Structure 1
Amino acid sequence: MNKTHIALAIAALMPAAAAMADVTIYGEIRGGYEYNKTYRASTALDSNGKPQGNSQINDWTSRIGFKGNEDLGNGLKAIWQVENRVNIDGSESSGFNTRDSFIGLAGDSWGKFRLGRLSNYANDMMEQVDPGYYSSQSVGGLAYFTRLDDRVNNAVRYDSPNWAGFSFAFLYGTDEARGASTDGSRTNRQTWNLGLSYENSGFFGKYNYQHWGDANKALVSGGRSSNKDWHRFEGGYMANNIYAALGYQQIRGYIDGTAGAYADSKGVLYNKAAFNALTAGSSNLDVSKEVKTRELALTLGYTFGSLTPYFSYVKGYDISVGGSDVNNSGYDQYVLALDYALSKRTEVYTSYGHVKWKGNNVEKENSFGLGLVHRF
C-alpha cells in the first residue's frame, strides 16, 4: 500500500474513532470455589429437610459495562450506560441490560437525571456493612441483610450534587402492569425511593427509605405485593486503614397468601423452613396481618499492608405478625473474611459464613469461599 492509500485509510477511520472516543468499557470478573451447606436453590436437602454440603464453582456477580457522555456546553452533559451481568461459571444466560442501564443529563451545579433500569439508593450508594464477594448460594456475605438492594425497571432517578458533604437521591418506578385486585379495582404498585447521605473526613451516615403502593392488595390470580415500606440506616468510619460500619433496617409488608409465608421481592424473607415450621397451623398466617422485621448489622476491618481482615455480625430479631412477635423466628449470622490485594485491580478473597436460625428443627447454614477478583 502506497502513502496515498495509507493516508486515505487513516482519514476514513478517523470519524469512527472520534465517535468511539467517549465510550468506556469497564467491569469486574469475580468468582471462586465455594462449599455451601445452605437452604439456597442449588443445595440439596436430606430426608429430614436439612441442607447437605455441596462443592461448587460459582460466579460472584461479575459484570461488564459500556458508558459514555457528550459535552453539550455550559456545564451540561448527556450521559448513558449499558451494564450486563456475566456468569463466568456458565450457570445461566443473561440479557444485555440486566444491571443499571440508562440515558440522562448531568450538570455541574444541579446533579444528574436518569431514566431506565436503575438501582435503588441502598444498592449503589450503601452496603458498607457488606464488603464481601460471594454467590447467591452462599451465606459467606450479608445477602439476607441486603436482600432488598435491587434495581427498578421503568424508573427515573435524580441525584443531587454534593453540598459540603451532604447529598440526596430520589427514584420513582412506575407500575406498567396495573393488574386487577380481588375487589375488582386496578392495582397501582408503583414504588419510590429516597436516599440521604453525609460524608466528611472518613465519617459517613446514609439513610434509605422505599415505599411500595397497594402493598396489601391481593391479585385476582393469587399472591400479594408483600413489601410496604423499608427503612435502612448505615453509618461508620472508613479512613486510616480502619473499616467500621453499622447498619439497621426495618421492613414492613404482608404475608403472601399463595405461599403461606412472608416473602419479599428477593424470595422468602428470613428463611421459609424456619418461618413455616414456627407458624404452621397458626392464626399468625392471616394474610390481612402486617408483618415487620428488624435487623442490626456490624462490620469491622483493618488493613495491614496488602491484607484486610473483616468480621461481620447480623442479628435478625423475631418477626412481628399483626403486632405480636413470633417466638424464636430470628437469626444470628457471623462472617469472617480476608482480602489480599495482589495489585490495585486484582484480589484474592476468602470467607467463612455461619447462620444460626433460632427455630426448632431448623438446621444451621455454613459457607466457605476462596476466589479471585479482577477489575478492568
Structure 2
Amino acid sequence: MKKIIIAAAVAAAVPALAHADVTLYGSLRAGISSTKNSTNNYTSTFGVDDFGSRIGFKGNEDLGNGLKTIWQVETGLSMDGTSGFASTDSGKLASRESFVGVEGGFGKLRVGYLTDVLGDSESTDNLYGPFRDNMGTGFPLYEATDVFGAYGDSRFKNGIRYDSPDLYGFNLTAHYGAGESQTAGQMKQGDKVGLRLAYQNSGFFGSWAYAGAMNTKGGSNSSTNRIEGGYNANNLYLAATYQWVTLYGNAQALPGIASLTPTIATGGNKLENQTWAVNLAYAFGNFKPSIVYSKRGDAKVDGVRYSLGATQWAAALDYTVSKRTLLQAGYGQVKENRDAQFANGHAKDTSSTIWAMMKHNF
C-alpha cells in the first residue's frame, strides 16, 4: 500500500516539475599555483588550489502581463577540499548571490544576499586567482585590499536591490542593505547603500558607482566612489578604473601601525586615498593575452599622509578550449610602499603568485 501511495505522489509531482523553469548551473575552477607572500614567509610554495568555484540553482515563473517571478540560490565551493576564501564564501548554502524577486517592464526588484554595485563595476578585473593568494597579486588594488580592510566588491546582506531597464544604453541600480541592529544610546550602524549609473553601446561602456556604510564613526559615513570606462569589441578589450575612498576604522588593529611616524591616534580613524587600474586584452583565435596594472596611492590617516600605497601588475594567457572550458596561466605581483609594509606587519615588500588553472562552466 505504501508503495502505491509513493508512486502516486511521484506521478502527481511529474507534471509540476515539467512546468517548473529551474536551471542547475555552476563554474568549476581548479589548478596549481606557487605563491610567495607573508603566509608562507616569502618562500615559494607550490599547491593545488580552487579559483572561485560555485554552483547554483535559478529559475522564473511567468505571472502574465509581462511580469515574472525570478529567483536564485548560489553557493561557493572549493575544488581542492579547503575552506575557500572565507567561511562566508564557501561551504555554506546560499553563500553567494541568492535572492527572490520580480521582473517586468519596470526592471528588476530583488530581495536577499545581492551583489553590490562595486562588484558590478570591476571592468579591470578579468583574471582568476588561487585561494592562497592572500595579497591579491592577480587583482587590481581597488578590490577591497585597502589598509582598513574590506568595504565593497562583494554582496550586501539583508539586501533590497532595484535594476532599471536599459534606456538608450543607460541603466540605473539602487541597493540597500539593512544593518538590523542598534546599540542603546547610539546611532544605528551596519546599514549600507549603493548607487550605480552605467552606459553601454557599440562596444563602449562606462559607469559610476557609489557604495556607503552608514555611521561608521558617529554620524560619519564610509564611502567609496568608482568610475570606469572602456571598449570591448573587435577582439580588443581595454578598460580603466579610478576610485577614491573615505573610510573610518580602527588603524590600531593593524599589527605594525605603531611603527609609523607620526604616531596614529587610537580609536576611530579616518582614511582617504585613491586607486587606479588599467586592463588590456586582445583575442586572436583561441588565445587571449591580457595584462592588468594598478596603483594605490599613499593615503591620509586623520589628515596626515603616510606611504601606505602599493603597486600591482599581472599578466595572463587564456586558451579557449570550447564554449564552456577555458585554460589560463599567469603571473602577478604586489609591491607595497614602506608604511604599508610595516603597518601590515609584512617581512618583505613584494609578494607574487604564478598559476595555471582550468575553468568549466555548466
What amino acid sits opposite 2:289 in the alignment? P
> 1-side partners of 2:187 and 2:11: how far apart?
59
What amino acid sits opposite 2:361 in the alignment? R
> 1-side partners of 2:77 and 2:281: how far apart?
29
Q: Determine if contact 2:161/2:175 at 8 Å carries over to the other structure.
A: yes
Residue in 1 that maps onto 2:15: 15
Pick from 82, 106, 109: which aligns with 1:110?
Answer: 106
Deviation at 1:285, TM superposition (A): 3.8
CA deviation string 1:82-114 (max 9, x = no partner): 00001111102511100111110100x210100
Deviation at 1:143, TM superposition (A): 5.5
Deviation at 1:136, TM superposition (A): 3.5
User: Aligned ranges for residues 326-341 of structure 1 at < 5 Å?
Assistant: 326=306, 328-341=307-320
RMSD of the alignment, in Å?
2.4
What amino acid sits opposite 1:321 in the alignment? V
Q: Is 1:130 aligned with 2:125?
A: yes
CA deviation string 1:245-268 (max 9, x = no partner): 100111211241651x4xxxxxxx
User: Aligned ranges for residues 248-267 of structure 1 at < 5 Å?
Assistant: 248-256=242-250, 259=253, 261=254
> 1-side partners of 2:45 and 2:158: how far apart?
38
Residue in 1 that maps onto 2:77: 86
Change (3 A) 1:285 1:34: farther
Residue in 1 that maps onto 2:273: 293
Change (3 A) 1:298 1:285: farther
Q: Percent identity?
A: 37
Deviation at 1:319, TM superposition (A): 1.0
Q: Determine if contact 1:38/1:137 at 8 Å carries over to the other structure.
A: no
> 2-side partners of 1:375 and 1:258: how far apart?
43
Residue in 2 that maps onto 1:221: none
Change (3 A) 1:253 1:15: same
> 1-side partners of 2:48 and 2:94: how far apart?
24
Residue in 2 that maps onto 1:238: 232
Residue in 1 that maps onto 2:148: none
Aligned to 1:177, what secondary structure does the other structure show?
Answer: coil
Pick from 322, 338, 344: which aligns with 2:323?
Answer: 344
What amino acid sits opposite 1:151 in the alignment? R
> 2-side partners of 1:248 and 1:52: how far apart?
33
CA deviation string 1:92-147 (max 9, x = no partner): 2511100111110100x210100011110121x22110101112432342163222
Residue in 1 that maps onto 2:44: 53
TM-score normalised per structure 1: 0.83
Deviation at 1:324, TM superposition (A): 2.6
What amino acid sits opposite 1:206 in the alignment? S
Aligned to 2:311, what secondary structure does the other structure show?
Answer: strand
Change (3 A) 1:303 1:188: same
Residue in 2 that maps onto 1:29: 28
TM-score normalised per structure 2: 0.86
Q: Is 1:312 aligned with 2:292?
A: yes
CA deviation string 1:182-233 (max 9, x = no partner): xx42433211000110001000011110111111149xxxxxx9x7000011
What amino acid sits opposite 2:294 in the alignment? V
Unaligned runs of 5+ residues in structure 2 are 1-7, 84-89, 145-151, 340-346
What amino acid sits opposite 1:115 in the alignment? V
Change (3 A) 1:158 1:67: same
Q: Is 1:373 aligned with 2:352?
A: no
What amino acid sits opposite 1:254 in the alignment? Y
Aligned to 2:17, what secondary structure does the other structure show?
Answer: helix
> 2-side partners of 1:131 and 1:178: how far apart?
39
Q: Is 1:167 aligned with 2:135?
A: no
> 2-side partners of 1:255 and 1:162: how far apart?
37
Residue in 2 that maps onto 1:3: none
Deviation at 1:283, TM superposition (A): 2.6
Aligned length: 334
> 2-side partners of 1:131 and 1:285: how far apart?
38
Aligned to 1:176, what secondary structure does the other structure show?
Answer: coil
CA deviation string 1:293-347 (max 9, x = no partner): 2101001010011000001110111011122311x32111110111000011101
CA deviation string 1:333-376 (max 9, x = no partner): 11011100001110110110011112176421110000100111
Q: Determine if contact 1:112/1:158 at 8 Å carries over to the other structure.
A: yes
Q: Determine if contact 1:254/1:287 at 8 Å carries over to the other structure.
A: no
Pick from 110, 121, 124: which aligns with 2:117?
Answer: 121
What amino acid sits opposite 2:36 in the alignment? K
Q: Determine if contact 1:297/1:315 at 8 Å carries over to the other structure.
A: yes
Q: Determine if contact 2:251/2:269 at 8 Å carries over to the other structure.
A: no
> 2-side partners of 1:140 and 1:308: how far apart?
20
Pick from 149, 152, 155: which aligns with 2:153?
Answer: 149
Q: Determine if contact 2:31/2:355 at 8 Å carries over to the other structure.
A: yes
Residue in 2 that maps onto 1:48: none
